[in-house]
Structure 1
Amino acid sequence: MNRLLLLSMLFLFSAQSFAQYASVWDQVPSKIKDRKSFKRLEWFYRQRAFPLDTIPLTKYFSEKEKQIAIDKLSLSKTKAQVSWGAIGPKSITSGWPFIWGNFSGRIRGLAVHPVDPNIVYIGAAAGGIWKTTNGGSAWQDLSNQFELLTFGAIAIDPQNPETVFAGTGELLAGWDMNTYSGDGIYKSTNGGSSWTKINQGIGSSTHVAAIAVSPGNSNIILAALASGNWFKGDMANEGIWRSTDGGAAWTKVKTVQDPNDIVFHPTDPNRVYFSSGGGFTTAGFYSSTNAGLNWVQSNTGLPSTPLIVRMQIAIANSAPATLYSYIYTNQTDFTSKAYKSTDNGTSWAQISAEKNLGGSYDGSTWDDQGWYDLALAVKPTDPNFVLFGNIEFHKTTNGSTINVVRNVSGPFSGTTAWDSPMHVDYHKIVFAPSNSNYVYTGCDGGIYKSTNGGTSWSSVNNSISTLQFYRLASHPTNENILLGGAQDNGVFRTTNKGSTSWSFVSTGDGMECFYDYTNPNIVYYSTQNGSFTKSTDGGVNNWSDITPPWDGTPAWTTPFAMHVTDHTILYTASTGFWKSTNSGASWTNISPAAAKKTIVSFNQSKVNPNNFILAAGEYSTIPQIKVSTDGGINWIERTSTIPTPNNYIARVVTDPGNANTVYFVRSGFGAGKVFRSTDLGNSWVNISGNLPDVPCSDLFIDPVNTAYMYVGNDFGVYYTTNSGATWNRLGEGMPYVPVLDFSYFNNGTKRLLRAATHGRSAFEINLNDILTHYCPVIS
């Protein structure tokens, strides 16, 4: 079944009937589906697509354009009285067992100035474009002009280095998977100070995998564009595109599925190469001898095309007939292997007896992430010196024997990936063209630098606010103390909000966290799929495991909360509803059949603590809502009252002033984002008003005035002053970025609302200022 037919089916059939047809998710092998790197992406994107199979990109961009127009009109008519303030983290200071220095969010795009090795541009997965002019000591955010902050490709014109190209969208390459959307290619002619979109001929729905500028003609630019499966772009765009006028106009010169990489010959601008994957018949290596007009596939010595899931390539500038490729194969062992060509890519040979360069914690597992992280680079002055990045870092100094790079002074003496000199999961490696001693790498922990050709590394993540939060918690009395959890960067804390770096607490994907409101020295946090931990010294040390004896697998972001009036009681949920009456020392499943599906959210009424509401059903099932009036023991079905369509329910919330008033917010696309019930779920009213039709993740109701409500969605934060009749974007000081969670701070004198973003760390705003000075709604 081709993908065009599949996409048509997605829009024609309901979720129930859709189950009869092939799903893009079914393309992914079961072994990959079990990996944490896949599960975090599945959680984020499937809830946004459901009940469809892919996210409607056209709808997303139409809503974005409409909102931008409204924002511009609003700002032209009234001056905002309040704005968001960034509170960090700008990086996280790693702790035992890691020796990674400060780390930040995932970096996918990376380019180094052709003359000055201290000028570097990076593209964050969801955090925009950043630039340093001093080798990473400080970074400047260049993203204020962008409508979208997801970047996967950056290229500098080698002849005019003030000209920079940035490609939006983040393609993961394997099985044509992608993360959040792309809206085309941008160009700057002043070193990133300003940008212009250059999409003529391409359109706007794109995921840019790579960009390359000819070393002999600044007007010739090539771009690899892919469609993606989850956030579906324009499939007609897939392939290699070429511009002969500096990006003003584009023509597609090669139709190919899942293109991965592009490399120009350093001295012969007519010779250029690209690679593709996805397991399609078009997968493999291609060369052109006329600057990209025509292409020839050259797969001799490479795995067969159905096995090539992803392929990255690099050229040896000092011996340009030599190329290397790093290939992730769709075999039973799911391995990443290195190949070498010494005849301009005409033929290839595997260069190491080692079958797998995936890297692992124990040397034999975790070897199947080449679809997610795969990178390589050849030293400009030595054709035999190559660096490879996957989960771990590898290198060869003789062009054939490849060894893992670890720090023998690490906590395990260089025997495990915990001894990696940098945060694991590498996405990009670039040597400085003018000084091969300088090399930079982008990974899940941000950006790292070596000044001795890769022998030793240091973090250069200071002042980069690109963390992808899941959840955030505020100290009950001290506004400067916070605790948070983020994607692949664990749990972290600060005692000085806004400081350059927060302190590392735990590895994994950090989820729900909170302080004991009677004794803030007692801190709780969780990581993916319901692993719970408690600290009794404010989160500094002294952590103990308090995970319940689960009878199944709970949700990726497992709900976890403290009783609203009794700090010794904790609650959590899987399909059953769990309770601890001794601060987590033991757990009881007080309602094993609370829901038929996995519970994703619950909330307890502050007015009547016996009242609860829950939402169940992860991203591939019809949602379920239930309520309890006896403290969570018995549950009343409310699913039949949920208004259609059946989007994923991201959060349920109780009203701070009325025990029978409850709310839910939806992810996905379709009518209705925020719903209210005044009879404990018997009936619902859509209070979405003029909210944009994009996924919503959280809702906060101001306890001082419940007519004031705030919703976090994929464009930021929206608020209402009239109980949902009309909404306005609260956007001053915050970019267009998904907001996944709110945290409320109230010490009696100051009331702050914190917003945890998935890509730009965290922000806060003074709620008392909102009550006094709010912008009029522009309709």
Structure 2
Amino acid sequence: MKSKYSFMALVALFLLLLPSTTEAQRRSKSNSATVSYPEELYSSLEYRGIGPYRGGRSAAVTGVPGEPNLYYFGATGGGVWKTLDGGRTWENISDGYFGGSIGAVEVAKSDPNVIYVGGGEKTLRGNVSSGYGIWRTVDGGKTWEKAGLEKSRHVPRIRVHPTDYNTLYAAVLGDIYKPTKERGIYKSTDGGDTWRQVLFVNEQAGAVDLTFDPNNPRILYASTWRAQRTPYSLSSGGEGSALWKSTDSGETWNEISKNEGFPKDTLGIIGVAVSPKNSERVWAIVENKEKGGLYRSEDGGKKWSLVNSDRNLRQRAWYYTRVYADTQDEDVVYVLNVSYHKSMDGGKTFKSFNAPHGDHHDLWISPENDQRMIIGDDGGAQISYDGGETWSTYYNQPTAQYYRVTTDNHFPYRIYVAQQDNSTLRVNHRSDGSAITEDDWEETAGGESAWIAVDPENDDIVYGGSYDGFLTRVNHEKGTVRGINVWPDNPMGAGAEAMKYRFQWNFPILFSRHDPNKLYTFSNHVHMTTNEGQSWEVLSGDLTRNDPTKLGSSGGPITQDNTSVEYYCTIFTANESPLKEGLLWVGSDDGLIHVSKNGGETWENVTPSNMPEWNMINSIEPSAFDEGTCYVAATRYKLGDFQPYLYKTTDYGQTWTKITNGINEEHFTRVVREDPKRKGLLYAGTETGMYISFDDGANWKSFQMNLPIVPITDLTIKDNNLIVATQGRSLWIIDDLTVLHQLDESKKSSEHILYKPKDSYRTKGRATSSPSKTSGQNHPNGVVTHFYLKNLSEKDSVHLTYTSMAGDTLATYNNYTKEKDQKLEVKKGGNTFVWDTRGKGAKLLDGMILWWANLDGPKAVPGNYKVHLNVNGNSSMQEFKIVPDPRAEASVADMQKQYDFITDINTTIDKAHKSIEKIRNVTAQLDAFTKQYADNESTKELIEKAKKMKESLGEVEKALYQTKNRSRQDPLNFPIKLTNKLGHLNSLVAIDDFPPTEQDIAVKNELTAAINKELDKFDAVMSNELKTFNTSFNDLNLNYLFVE
């Protein structure tokens, strides 16, 4: 292996002869024409939330006094959620207003419709997201408005005065990355319209806990905490960490952590609680090196005693450290940590419990019933009605936090992610059922922080990482797991300087795009295996800054915390060109970009000269169109800089252009992806949502549409689908990017546009599925048709018609029909319609009860088809394909036989049911005639004829359909008849793609003959008896019986 570092002087001289990056950027802006399209042209596109419904972390929960089924929680990335049924289902109530990380949720006791929410969690993980201030609702979450403190960043507690919902206090931890004055305790007396800072300690210590004396709202207790994160460290404790008390409604504060009995040396994070049964009893859980633990005061904080120092109560203090007093018993107290701990003897002893997940962060106990509570943990929120003996599930919350996302080549393709605080998953992107449920996902290789790679030649072999360089190979088919760490020396608890190879918490793993035998992984070096991890080759030197001052132990000054989240000077992202084998790009978390054009033999530092130092290079995207083009997303938020940083090179990194025009200045960027089908079409994921560029990054615009406001961590594109991994709202997909591929200048002036549908699979499942509160939304099953209407009035007629290539109509829909199954719902702008690929089915009459019978039309056979859009007589057409399900055993010829068979069945049933409809129509008229003329001597003969005709028609109907059936299970009592039996054959044959059996054909022929025999009887009555009857009517000068 050679290094190019010895040529740096030559490289520097060469760069002086090139245009500077800044100059290149300036010229790019001035010379490139803006390409943009109105969002209405593609507004038919929507993000589909697929879950999985397995909750992510929550650090803010609350219930409502007197409302035993009403609770709220804030997700650390996923906004605010509400349940009305005790946790059986949850609904997001912040979408459309705000989202992201939630640190506090507080309901006003004086009016439970008033709720305040603070952004930014207290659990300061390495991937923590900040908030954007406080929000208020006065209608239980239906609508929201901003309530100030926009620069607070992290608000771990809000407390509302118990009798005045306009008076409230906020504990503001503040910016955890840099010193600021916006931290401490704030007070508002006008519902958040204005705020006063009533407690400020210093520019690096903010407020982390806050509580009222439950019996006297003039008395408040608060804790302040000196906490800071850098890209390579977490610091918990130091000057400014303290416990405070106010006795004048927060106007002035006294430090009570200097009082007798409290630890005297360096303090860290402190949690505080007051017993509602005894205001003099105050609890404090304290981070302190020598005397940390649970403290109790019996005189309102004047004196303290250490009652329990068990490390189970105070381990990993920065992540936990919360204490809660029981609402009914002053000797009962709860401390939250990995487990939650309950004491019934004033804190002397504790018993440990676990909610369904673990790693607990917040607890609310009902003031009127201490058996009713809600807990927030790394799995979301769970509710208990028996004091914590049992809890509701968290498998109904789509609030997972994911790192990276990839897919395989299976059908349906599966999505691979690692869920923070949980496991890795592979998830079907669509299912054969009505929704995406637990049956559609399973755990896979690696752990919670994994980057995942799937064997390109075997979708069941998966590689996944985790912290400390942990790397596993899973064979799903065989059920085997193998550890293949590059260097299996576990560094847990030590700083990065102790590692032979520095592997970050979320280190990259990827297969070569060109050689399926090459698997790469990355520490501060590049590693490659060609034997599935049996051995590893080192392909590079250290490709980071390797700054020894940033490789030390993290977590001090009190409690060390080394899990590899803070391991620094590591390769954080990597990729290989899809155009050239061995063209490798790597980016480090300390701001370097390297490229190798020869499979790792040599490496060149191509870091942009105009990019700030120490940027975290979060994603690298080599172009699918130009070998020398590559896109980079970088962040500096861990340095207190929330700006977006996107760069593009077209010359292998020799020059770079910054491409962030149009992105909000605080929407820092984690990922940029190139659309592989349309050159210049880019997607960017930011901390606050999605952006799109049609001109290769020169200009960006929001691509949020129906996507919740949520941090975007990664993007990938598969089969013209855009897959979005989020930090707090699980997975989302746009199912059809071909709409964007078809945009051009001519469409901007079009009155209506019919987009060419993408290929559709002939699969099982429903055409459309509505979002569920407990499962992911499924992919539409059928031909997804996008069209655009520039204008629309009530008088406009809009038709969609699907035909064969020869022009035979298979299905047609319009916007004015009263027939539900032919109705086309349209609106101004973008529209989507899903044709289920079925031809015309048989008529089902109102009130009909059929047992296991299908009257749907047959599914179209794979092949080429056309769709026509007609707007007020102006027509356009697009061709599309229906392709076989790759899993299907049946041939296309088999499917054609099934299509013809079901068509024949439906033709017969449809004719029979329309005849029954006529029978019922004639019978009703005969009944009306008989009733009207029952006492008329001249009509006695006709009434007798009417009676006989009714009997004849009635026998036909009873032979065709069981008229005694009135409820769904009546067929168990009254045997089904001919059309039901024939409809059952439709159900039987349509189970899958197979052709009818010989028995199916024989029974169909037999039933068809029997039905036709009855229809012949019907025709005879209609053509003979009814004709004679009407002639007699005419002789008596009466109206004819009318039959449609």
Partners of 1:280 and 1:624 in 2: CA distance:
33
1:349 and 2:349 are equivalent in the alignment: no
Partners of 1:709 and 1:273 in 2: CA distance:
50
Letter in 2 for 1:115: G
Partners of 1:544 and 1:385 in 2: CA distance:
46
1:643 and 2:615 are equivalent in the alignment: no
**Correspondence for 1:217:** 164
Contact persistence 2:398–2:730 (CA under 8 A): yes
Contact persistence 1:302–1:349 (CA under 8 A): yes
1:537 and 2:484 are equivalent in the alignment: no
Partners of 2:42 and 2:646 in 1: CA distance:
28
> Which of 683, 688, 695 is the equivalent residue of 1:715?
688
1:282 positional shift: 5.3
CA distance 1:287–1:479, shift in 2 (3 Å): same
Q: Deviations over 1:341-393 (max 9, x none)?
A: 222233221122x443346xxxxxxx2x1112122222211111111112222
Q: How does 1:417-566 map to 2 (within 5 A)?
A: 420-454=354-388, 456-479=389-412, 481-495=414-428, 499-501=436-438, 502-505=441-444, 508-537=447-476, 541-549=479-487, 551-566=500-515
CA distance 1:631–1:771, shift in 2 (3 Å): same
Partners of 2:390 and 2:714 in 1: CA distance:
34
- Partner of 1:269, secondary structure, is strand
1:670 positional shift: 8.7
**Correspondence for 2:45:** 82
**Correspondence for 2:711:** 738
Partners of 1:324 and 1:443 in 2: CA distance:
21
Partners of 1:688 and 1:513 in 2: CA distance:
29
**Correspondence for 1:112:** 63
- Partner of 1:535, secondary structure, is strand
1:206 positional shift: 4.5
1:752 positional shift: 1.0
Partners of 1:436 and 1:716 in 2: CA distance:
40
Letter in 2 for 1:222: Y
**Correspondence for 1:701:** 674
Letter in 2 for 1:555: Q
CA distance 1:179–1:584, shift in 2 (3 Å): closer
Contact persistence 1:484–1:510 (CA under 8 A): no
**Correspondence for 1:163:** 114
* TM-score, normalisation: structure 1: 0.77
1:325 and 2:256 are equivalent in the alignment: no
- Which structure has the greater CA radius of gyration? 2
Stretch deviating more after TM superposition (273-282 or 120-129) = 273-282
How many residues of Structure 1 are paired with residues of Structure 2 in the alignment?
Answer: 650
Partners of 2:534 and 2:359 in 1: CA distance:
35
**Correspondence for 1:28:** none
What percentage of aligned pairs have identical amino acids? 26
- Partner of 1:471, secondary structure, is strand
> Which of 402, 408, 411 is the equivalent residue of 2:349?
402
Q: How does 1:93-112 map to 2 (within 5 A)?
A: 104-112=55-63
1:681 positional shift: 2.2
1:138 and 2:89 are equivalent in the alignment: yes
* TM-score, normalisation: structure 2: 0.59
**Correspondence for 2:738:** 768
Partners of 1:594 and 1:372 in 2: CA distance:
32
Q: Deviations over 1:98-123 (max 9, x none)?
A: xxxxxx21111111101113211111
Partners of 1:683 and 1:582 in 2: CA distance:
37
**Correspondence for 1:756:** 725
1:197 and 2:146 are equivalent in the alignment: yes
CA distance 1:461–1:593, shift in 2 (3 Å): closer
- Partner of 1:118, secondary structure, is strand
Contact persistence 1:529–1:557 (CA under 8 A): no
1:302 positional shift: 4.4
- Partner of 2:283, secondary structure, is strand
- Partner of 1:357, secondary structure, is helix
Partners of 2:539 and 2:151 in 1: CA distance:
51
**Correspondence for 2:245:** 287
Contact persistence 2:80–2:99 (CA under 8 A): no
Letter in 1 for 2:537: T
CA distance 1:426–1:81, shift in 2 (3 Å): same
**Correspondence for 1:655:** 623
**Correspondence for 2:830:** none
Q: Deviations over 1:493-524 (max 9, x none)?
A: 33465635444447743321132222211112
**Correspondence for 1:3:** none
Q: Which has the higher helix share?
A: 2
> Which of 589, 592, 595 is the equivalent residue of 1:624?
592
Contact persistence 1:351–1:400 (CA under 8 A): yes
1:185 positional shift: 1.8
CA distance 1:383–1:600, shift in 2 (3 Å): same
Letter in 2 for 1:530: G
Partners of 1:508 and 1:546 in 2: CA distance:
14
Contact persistence 2:272–2:285 (CA under 8 A): yes
- Partner of 2:452, secondary structure, is strand
Letter in 1 for 2:64: H
**Correspondence for 1:614:** 586
Mark the runs of 5 or more structure 1 residues left unpaired by the alignment. 1-72, 92-103, 360-366, 407-419
**Correspondence for 2:657:** 685
1:127 positional shift: 1.2
1:651 positional shift: 2.1
Stretch deviating more after TM superposition (685-694 or 513-522) = 685-694
Partners of 2:538 and 2:576 in 1: CA distance:
17
Aligned-residue CA RMSD in angstroms?
3.0
- Partner of 2:318, secondary structure, is coil
Partners of 2:529 and 2:481 in 1: CA distance:
18
Q: How does 1:187-336 map to 2 (within 5 A)?
A: 187-199=136-148, 202=149, 204-230=151-177, 234-235=180-181, 237-256=182-201, 257-278=205-226, 279=237, 283-299=241-257, 300-304=259-263, 306-329=265-288, 331=289, 336=292
Q: Deviations over 1:29-49 (max 9, x none)?
A: xxxxxxxxxxxxxxxxxxxxx
Q: Deviations over 1:699-756 (max 9, x none)?
A: 222222222121222232222222223222211121232222122222xxxx211111
Q: Deviations over 1:193-232 (max 9, x none)?
A: 1112222xx5544432211122233343222223233166
1:575 and 2:524 are equivalent in the alignment: yes
Partners of 2:675 and 2:124 in 1: CA distance:
43
**Correspondence for 2:134:** 185
Q: How does 1:357-376 map to 2 (within 5 A)?
A: 357-358=312-313, 367=315, 369-376=316-323
Partners of 2:707 and 2:220 in 1: CA distance:
41
1:397 positional shift: 0.8
Contact persistence 2:225–2:269 (CA under 8 A): yes
Where relative contact order (Cα < 8 A, 6+ residues apart) is larger, the structure is 1
1:589 and 2:549 are equivalent in the alignment: no
Contact persistence 1:85–1:764 (CA under 8 A): yes
1:673 and 2:645 are equivalent in the alignment: yes
CA distance 1:499–1:611, shift in 2 (3 Å): same
Q: Deviations over 1:238-270 (max 9, x none)?
A: 332223334343333333342222222223333
**Correspondence for 2:576:** 604
Contact persistence 1:675–1:687 (CA under 8 A): yes
Partners of 1:280 and 1:615 in 2: CA distance:
34
Contact persistence 1:170–1:179 (CA under 8 A): yes
CA distance 1:691–1:463, shift in 2 (3 Å): same
1:464 positional shift: 1.9
Q: Deviations over 1:399-432 (max 9, x none)?
A: 13222414xxxxxxxxxxxxx4443322111112
